[in-house]
Amino acid sequence: MDYSTIVTKQRTYFQSQQTKPLAARKAQLKLFKQMLVVNETSIYEAVHADFHKSAHEAFLTEFAILIKDIDEARAKLSDWMQAKRVPTNLVNLPGRSRIQPEPLGVCLVIGAWNYPVQLSFAPAIAALAAGNTVVLKPSELAATSAQCMADIVAEYFDPKIFTVVLGGVPETTALLSERFDKIFFTGSPAVGKIVYQAAAQHLTPVTLELGGKSPAVITPSAALPTAIKRLVWAKFLNAGQTCIAPDYLFVHSSIYQQCLDLLGQEIKKNQYALDNHNYVQIINERNLERLSKLIDPNKIVYGGQIDQSTRTIAPTILKDITTTEPIMQEEIFGPLLPVLPYSDFNEVLQYIAHNEKPLSAYLFSNNKTEQTRWTQQLSFGGGCINDAIMHITNPNLPFGGVGNSGMGAYHGKAGFDCFSHQKAIFEKPNLLEAPLKYPPYTKAKMTWIKRLLKFS
Ligand code: NAD
């Protein structure tokens, strides 16, 4: 089926009003959950085939998140859908005002490969909950997961409500020439710009979930080794191929050597290896090569081993890195952690503020002044104090970037809002009204208008 036929069929169905009632939305969410539960093992097998992600990690970072998303949406949907009364201003009295969320229509979701199922299905769940139809284009780099999603969605869903389209750049380019009512993209800032430009042709609203370099800082007041334990988990989860992984680490010079030692010890404790299912592969040869080039052998304090045959890079700690080195110029998106010493917290803040706004930022500190400056002076999508990555797991926190790391947000209610338009309605009773706004315009009317609007 060609793309314009898919979009036309979905738009016709959307316009039939059948996606809008609460019961219809809940039915789709129920079906979604059923599809996931029945195919749980196939999903783990597919993700494992792509880059050896274990069932343990796939459960935590793909499956469980989706099930929780569906449960939350089903429980709260009727409240989210309610029109909200808002006060009516003096000029419009008597009258009533409300904000009515309405679905946008036919939504295109473009996924990334690093959490291939979660990043494709989570926006789709939010879009269906908000009463839309969905065309999903997962990443071709996690090909087995993409095929698995296409197969199970085709088995459970009517394509006029939800369908999966497979392909890479040419297919996505063709899809983007269609008119959608919303485009939700997860991927790199470079491709985000292409998507944004394509959307502009139809004035389609977009949410861009992008990436970049997310900083972490350990100050002298931090609780070591708890900070290191949390940081190591966050960095090497998915072999560092996480959009909100700490990309690089600033450590105060007074605790620099201690932190380097603790980082090594913590990595050892975690026993990262493919054969004990504690680690994942680099997604492809191209990324393996790109990452290999970022390792300066003279700076390795831990790890550094590259195995071409298993497509893995050991968790690697690099010391005495300066901000001018190649590893500090691009998002790493792999298991390499450059550690930079600092002596003045102001310089750290300045460095981060002078670069692109990060998707996430992590401060390990028990100093209230540092915490306040971190959250108030820096702009970033979201983040944690004394932890890393975990902010994404709270559905009450909107997840998204700012500036170069993206626009818009989702998860929980934010996901519902992301796929809804907030329609403003003003309702006026047929009572007599003061004739002030109607011609003929007179001086007396103007005086009254100014008085009412408090201009005199
Ligand atoms: P990518 O931008 O290369 O690809 C993302 C999607 O865009 C894929 O589906 C791909 O097929 C499509 N695509 C690629 N090139 C295209 C083109 N020229 N025209 C149209 N479509 C194209 O990103 P990726 O490698 O899949 O993911 C890595 C990036 O995504 C990193 O920057 C990472 O930080 C970011 N990311 C962000 C989030 C988030 O939630 N903010 C989550 C995961 C990944």
Q: For 383-437, how does the pLDDT look when each residue is reduced to its tens digit (9 = 90+)?
A: 999 999 999 999 999 999 999 999 999 999 999 999 999 999 999 999 888 899 9
Q: Is the C-beta atom of 139 inside 6 A of ligand 1?
A: yes
243 is catalytic: yes
Identify whether the C-beta of residue 334 lies closer than 8 Å to the C-beta of residue 313.
Answer: yes
Identify whether the C-beta of residue 340 lies closer than 8 Å to the C-beta of residue 323.
Answer: yes
Choose the residue to mutate in 118, 121, 188 for probing ligand 1, maximizing ligand atoms within 8 Å of C-beta: 188
pLDDT at 1 over 70: no
Residue extents of the structural domains in the chain: 3-210+406-422, 215-400
Give CA–CA dist 197/270, Å, rounded.
44
Q: Closest ligand 1 atom, CA of 112? A: 26
Helix (H), strand (E) at residue 447: helix 443-452
Q: Model confidence at 455, in pLDDT bands (50, 70, 90)?
A: confident
Q: Closest ligand 1 atom, CA of 400? A: 41
Q: Closest ligand 1 atom, CA of 190? A: 2
259 is catalytic: no
Which residues, in sequence order, are CB contacts of 428 under 8 Å at separation 6+? 92, 94, 95
Q: Which CATH architecture has domain 215-400?
A: 3-Layer(aba) Sandwich (3.40)
Residue 354 Cα to ligand 1 midpoint, Å, equals: 24
pLDDT digits (tens, 9 = 90+) for 246-282: 999 999 999 999 999 999 999 999 999 999 999 999 9
Q: Closest ligand 1 atom, CA of 399? A: 40
Q: Give the mean model confidence (pLDDT) for residues 55-73.
A: 96
Which residues, in sequence order, are CB contacts of 45 under 8 Å at separation 6+? 148
Per DSSP bridges, beta strands 300-302 and 316-318 are: antiparallel
pLDDT digits (tens, 9 = 90+) for 354-393: 999 999 999 999 999 999 999 999 999 999 999 999 999 9
Q: Model confidence at 91, in pLDDT bands (50, 70, 90)?
A: confident
Of 107, 148, 243, 384, catalytic: 243
Identify whether the C-beta of residue 105 lies closer than 8 Å to the C-beta of residue 11.
Answer: yes
Class at the top of the CATH hierarchy for domain 3-210+406-422: alpha beta
pLDDT at 153 over 90: yes
Identify whether the C-beta of residue 335 lies closer than 8 Å to the C-beta of residue 236.
Answer: yes
Q: Give the mean model confidence (pLDDT) for residues 116-141.
A: 98
Q: Identify the weakest region by mean pLDDT among 118-127, 149-158, 179-188, 445-454.
A: 445-454
Helix (H), strand (E) at residue 361: strand 360-364
pLDDT at 456 over 70: no
Identify whether the C-beta of residue 196 lies closer than 8 Å to the C-beta of residue 218.
Answer: no
Identify whether the C-beta of residue 416 lies closer than 8 Å to the C-beta of residue 395.
Answer: no
pLDDT at 47 over 80: yes
Q: Is the C-beta atom of 61 inside 6 A of ligand 1?
A: no
Give CA–CA dist 94/399, Å, rounded.
40
pLDDT at 185 over 80: yes
- Look up residue 454 and give its amino acid: K
pLDDT at 45 over 80: yes
pLDDT of 433 reads: 84
User: Chain-wide mean pLDDT for the chain?
Assistant: 97
Residue 85 Cα to ligand 1 midpoint, Å, equals: 39
Q: Is the C-beta atom of 406 inside 6 A of ligand 1?
A: yes
pTM of the entire structure?
A: 0.97
Q: Model confidence at 335, in pLDDT bands (50, 70, 90)?
A: very high
Q: Output phi, psi for 234, to 5 deg.
A: -65, -35
DSSP letter string over 212-280? ---EEEE-TTS-TTHHHHHHHHHHHGGGG--TTS--EEEEEGGGHHHHHHHHHHHHHHHT--TTTTS--
DSSP state of 131: T
Q: Model confidence at 452, in pLDDT bands (50, 70, 90)?
A: confident
Of 57, 209, 266, 370, catalytic: 209
